[in-house]
């Protein structure tokens, strides 16, 4: 049904444009630079790339930190609380939409009005074939990314930097990614299996949705050395599998990572949740989310900082990371934001453990 709906939208928008003589991107558009995208397709781009649309949040967020001045629109509206941590070039961009979750697609009319010179898509979107066909018929170049596993981020950041013709900036960010992986992963590998912390990832307003080990959405648990108590469905790209309270009790997690702030406020007063070891021992943590989530939804470049935070959270006796300083340095490099002590307190609020009675 989603595919049929998008096909109908594509046909309708193209019909309007053709009738009005508004096919804005003819195939003969001069191009002076060639790049090869991450699925091996050769793309011709203008020598001076100035206007880019990115169709999914993980890639959109990365493009925003490589060069925010290139962006012509956003997938989702920005929250007022987050603006101070984001480059001003993003503050007033139109919301074009994109491919994220179930049933979400770009607003094609808004996209065309933004006149992008390049569209970047995630290769795994099930409806990209129709969107790609639409872009071909309008003459807009489209490149594909394979941005997914955090360990591939150094490669992927450099690839996007090449697409955007910003290799120097991308190299700075890729070098940070490499240094982070070198810092964390060897120490994680040295943790004996018997000492691994059992972790439950609580999603949704009731905490009874989750993602299992080996999945994209919960990858950080594996990388930080936790044992995800839920096996999960690796093939489900959207995730958020429902579980029962009885199942969580059987899992007996040592740590709970919480996505929903409302649920975090309620978990310590719930008679059912108080029976879970993580709640009894007050090892429940609200995942930081300013300006983008450090863990998931979407799983983006913020996971590089999230990996440090989670490793420190799970194994404070092994990592000894100063998260205030780590946060300050990360935001300066990636978001070009200079944080005050108050900013850091706001970003990390409730992230260091439960405080609600």
Confidence (pLDDT) at 155? 97
- Cβ contacts of residue 34 below 8 Å, gap of 6+? 42, 43, 44, 45
CA distance 290 to 147: 21
- Cβ contacts of residue 9 below 8 Å, gap of 6+? 105, 108
Confidence (pLDDT) at 233? 74
Could you check whether 2-176 and 191-347 share the same CATH topology?
yes
Confidence (pLDDT) at 32? 77
Which segments of the chain are extended strands (E)? 33-36, 42-45, 52-54, 118-122, 142-145, 198-202, 209-210, 227-228, 241-242, 255-258, 284-286
Name the CA radius of gyration of the chain, rounded.
21
E strand or H helix at 154, and its extent? helix 153-163
What CATH number has the domain spanning 191-347?
Answer: 3.40.50.1980
Confidence (pLDDT) at 170? 98
Classify domain 2-176 at the CATH topology level: Rossmann fold (3.40.50)
Confidence (pLDDT) at 201? 98
- Cβ contacts of residue 76 below 8 Å, gap of 6+? 57, 95, 98, 100
Per-residue pLDDT of the chain (357 residues; tens, 9 = 90+): 444 555 555 555 555 554 444 445 544 455 579 999 998 989 999 999 999 999 999 999 999 999 999 999 999 999 999 999 999 999 999 999 998 866 688 999 999 999 999 999 987 554 457 777 888 888 899 899 988 899 999 999 999 999 999 999 999 999 999 999 999 999 999 999 999 999 999 999 999 999 999 998 999 999 999 999 999 876 667 789 999 999 999 999 999 999 999 999 999 999 999 999 999 999 999 999 999 999 999 999 999 999 999 999 999 999 999 999 999 999 999 999 999 999 999 999 877 665 444
Locate the domains of the chain by residue range: 2-176, 191-347
Confidence (pLDDT) at 232? 81
């Amino acid at each position: 049904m989603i595919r049929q709906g998008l096909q109908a939208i594509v046909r309708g928008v193209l019909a309007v444009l053709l009738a009005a003589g508004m096919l804005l991107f003819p195939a003969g558009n001069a191009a002076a630079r060639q790049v090869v995208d991450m699925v091996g397709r050769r793309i011709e781009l203008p020598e001076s790339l100035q206007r880019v649309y990115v169709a999914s949040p993980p890639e959109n967020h990365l493009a925003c930190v490589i060069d925010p001045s290139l962006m012509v629109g956003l997938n989702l509206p920005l929250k007022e609380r987050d603006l101070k941590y984001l480059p001003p070039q993003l503050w007033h961009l139109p919301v074009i939409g994109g491919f994220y979750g179930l049933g979400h697609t770009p607003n094609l009319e808004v996209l065309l009005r933004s006149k992008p010179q390049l569209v970047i898509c995630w290769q795994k979107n099930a409806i990209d074939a129709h969107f790609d066909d639409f872009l071909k018929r309008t003459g807009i170049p489209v490149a594909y990314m394979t941005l997914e596993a955090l360990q591939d981020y150094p490669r992927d950041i450099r690839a996007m930097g090449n697409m955007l013709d910003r290799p120097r900036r991308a190299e700075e960010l890729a070098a940070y990614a490499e240094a982070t992986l070198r810092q964390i992963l060897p120490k994680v590998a040295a943790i004996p299996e018997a000492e691994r912390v059992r972790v439950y990832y609580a999603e949704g307003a009731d905490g009874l949705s989750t993602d299992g080990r080996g999945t994209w959405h919960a990858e950080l648990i594996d990388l930080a050395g936790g044992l995800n108590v839920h096996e999960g469905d690796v093939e489900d790209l959207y995730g958020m599998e429902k579980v029962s309270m009885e199942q969580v009790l059987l899992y007996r997690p040592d740590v709970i990572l919480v996505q929903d702030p409302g649920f975090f406020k309620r978990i310590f007063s719930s008679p059912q949740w108080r029976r879970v070891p993580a709640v009894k021992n007050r090892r429940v943590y609200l995942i930081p989310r300013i300006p983008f989530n450090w863990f998931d939804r979407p799983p983006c470049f913020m996971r590089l900082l999230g990996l440090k935070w989670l490793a420190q959270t799970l194994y404070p006796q092994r990592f000894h990371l100063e998260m205030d300083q780590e946060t300050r340095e990360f935001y300066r490099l990636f978001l070009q934001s200079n944080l005050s002590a108050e900013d850091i307190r706001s970003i990390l609020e409730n992230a260091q453990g439960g405080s609600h009675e």
